[in-house]
Amino acid sequence: MAMYLETIQSKAKKIIACYLRISEQDILAQSTLTDLGADSFDRMDIIFQIEKAFHIIIQTDEPDLLYNGQFRYLCNEIEVRINSRRR
């Protein structure tokens, strides 16, 4: 069963909002984890939680995704990794 981008976005928003104790409404498509108040430890832990929730691996040596990546790009990357896992 394919996981749709809207479902990925919703689940990722819940993870980020819960971890940072912010409203899901504060997470915009162009928001970065840094914009949302995450420090380097927070970013790594959020990525770990996303990996666990979606059963994927995101390389920690991808600094653009971790530090500068907008929420929409993070969700797109999650979708790509879920789809590549199914092949």
pTM for the whole thing? 0.88
pLDDT band at 1 (very low <50, low <70, confident <90, very high): very low
Tokens of 57: 């691996």
Domains of the chain: residue spans and CATH: 5-85 (1.10.1200.10)
CB 82 within 8 A of CB 56: yes
Quick: pLDDT tens for 14-71. 999 999 999 999 999 999 999 999 998 999 899 999 999 999 988 766 666 666 789 9
